[in-house]
Amino acid sequence: MLARAVMLGRSTMPVEPLAVLWRHVRLAAPTMGRAPACRAALAGLALLTVAGCSSETLPPALSGDQLKAIAETHFKATVGVKVAPLEAFRTPPTFVAQVDRRIYGTATIPIFTMITLGIVPTIVEEEHGLEFSLVPSLPPKKPIAIRFSYKGPSTLGWSAFYRAFLPNETLGPADWRARFVQSLAWHVVQHKGEISTYAK
């Protein structure tokens, strides 16, 4: 909404300074005395963006046996999302996935990190993972609960770049990384017996 208001040039109170800055940035002629100030403001915004870099903790690494079990496990199943009644499908999915608990991490306002442009880091303990159930479309429809979560420090600020080189941390969201996906897959494989009852 904020970016949209800036693009449209609306002059509401919170957006007006950004809208003015946007109009000056688009001017081709740098003859106005405000051009250097605009460049400095943009540089400041860029620094704040860099200061907003973060690192997150990865889940524990899996053993060779666990990775082998993932590679060797296959299910002949389809998974649907709860958006329509099963009767609406020509062929109902084997399971319907439903979220049991939403894991969002920790809400934090990094005041000192922003004031110091990222020099003073903000480190918080956060929870990551996914908790959902696979509900069979056929009776007895007993949900299969997949519980995957872990905790670890997340860093906001310049030091996030250095922490990202640690073996158990990564720059940016952890759930984009292969280790996160592998850990989730391992938690699914641990329910192999229950899932195989329906996935044949």
Tokens matching residue 114: 């922003």
Q: What is the pLDDT of residue 18?
A: 34
Per-domain boundaries in the chain: 2-51, 55-198
Q: Which residues of the chain have pLDDT under 70?
A: 1-52
Task: Check: pTM over 0.75? Answer yes or no.
Answer: no
Average pLDDT taken over every residue of the chain: 79
Dihedral in degrees, nearest 10, Cα atoms 169, 171, 174, 176? -140
User: Is 114:164 a contact under the CB 8 Å cutoff?
Assistant: no
Query: 11-44: per-residue pLDDT in tens?
Result: 333 334 333 333 433 444 444 556 666 666 666 5
Helix ranges, 73-158 (H): 111-115
